[in-house]
Amino acid sequence: MSAAASEITVKSDAVKQMPVEQPHVALRGITCVFHSRGRSLHALGPVDLSLTKGEFFSVVGPSGCGKSTLLDILAGLNPPQTGTAQFEGKPIQGVPDGVGVVFQEDASFPWLNVHDNVAFGLRRAGVDPAEIKRRVDYAIGFMGLKDFAAAYPAQLSGGMRQRVCIARTLVLQPRLIMLDEPFGALDQQTRLIMGDELLRLWRETSATILLITHALDEAAMLSDRVGVMSTRPGTFIDIVETGWDRNRDSRVVSTPHFGDITARLWEKLRVEALKMMSTSETRSS
């Protein structure tokens, strides 16, 4: 495993040394306002954000600050009210090719077993059956679902279903992978292990990853950079560079640097969390 990992490092270093012409993802002045029943709700922004190709970026922020809304905009599911969003240099209009999303809610298809769930996107894309089988078997193994390939989602735990959704996204080999609290349903130790798996995947694919999470330790351990969002309407109030090596894994949690990062994230977030608590007390306005 370590031999394979170092081999991958060489490759990824090669990727890093390539000249970076343009950001992989670029957001400028993005805002989102929802209108429902004659009332308008400023959910997000203005947000500016650039992600470099192959970067692991996490977003933390108080509940309801617009994290999922931001993801929807990046995925082309929901156009912003103002601002420009670009993926690979092209404006985002509709869902761009090369983007994979794992949603916050369980999106597994209850009528398909695990294998067919994971194969769904590949079949839609008309990939040849032998290749489908190879990629699906790999993704299922990668996500630790090998013994459940024939099981239906209803027979799995919430965390396992979320893994099905991750596998289903991975097999399409997206160049930008966005995950919205994918490990929310998992216990702490499984979350750390899944984090390691995600890092391994990230190294193997050199995809850009945008991870939304509630867990500061998860963000601190996994990311190159962590964006901290304010309460609604969410904007980035801090972007923390972790400075981790590309070969990091969950063992970094025992280093003093990890403590520093988490402390800085919490310092920023605590203020926002307190603000949110006080605004929710005076909601009547």
By CB under 6 A, name the one of 12, 31, 58, 68 that touches ligand ATP: 68
Beta carbons of 162 and 182 less than 8 angstroms apart: yes
Q: By CB under 8 A, how many residues form the interface with another protein?
A: 22
Task: Write down the least CB distance from residue 244 to another protein, Å.
Answer: 29
Q: Pick the piece of the chain touching ligand ATP (CB under 6 A) from 36-44, 127-135, 144-152, 275-283.
A: 36-44
Distances (CA, A) of 128 to 58, 122, 150: 34, 9, 21
Beta strands in 193-251 (DSSP E): 208-212, 225-229, 236-241
Q: Pick the piece of the chain touching Mg ion (CB under 5 A) from 97-105, 190-198, 216-224, 256-264.
A: 97-105
**152: burial class by Cβ within 10 Å (0-12, 13-18, 19+)?**
middle
By CB under 6 A, name the one of 115, 135, 225, 232 that touches ligand ATP: 232
Beta carbons of 225 and 55 less than 8 angstroms apart: yes
Beta carbons of 60 and 75 less than 8 angstroms apart: no
Coil, helix or strand at residue 202: helix
Coil, helix or strand at residue 253: helix
Task: Write down the least CB distance from residue 183 to another protein, Å.
Answer: 17
- Give the one entry of ligand ATP, another protein, Mg ion, none that residue 182 binds, where binding means its C-beta sits below a cut-off of 5 to 8 angstroms depending on kind: none
Q: Pick the piece of the chain touching ligand ATP (CB under 6 A) from 1-9, 66-74, 79-87, 162-170.
A: 66-74
Residues in the chain: 285
- Is 184 a binding residue for ligand ATP by CB under 6 A? The answer is no
Binding site for ligand ATP (CB under 6 A): 34, 36, 41, 43, 61, 63-69, 104, 232
Which residue ranges make up the site for another protein (CB under 8 A)? 75, 77, 94-95, 97, 99-101, 103, 105-107, 109-112, 120-121, 124, 152, 154-155
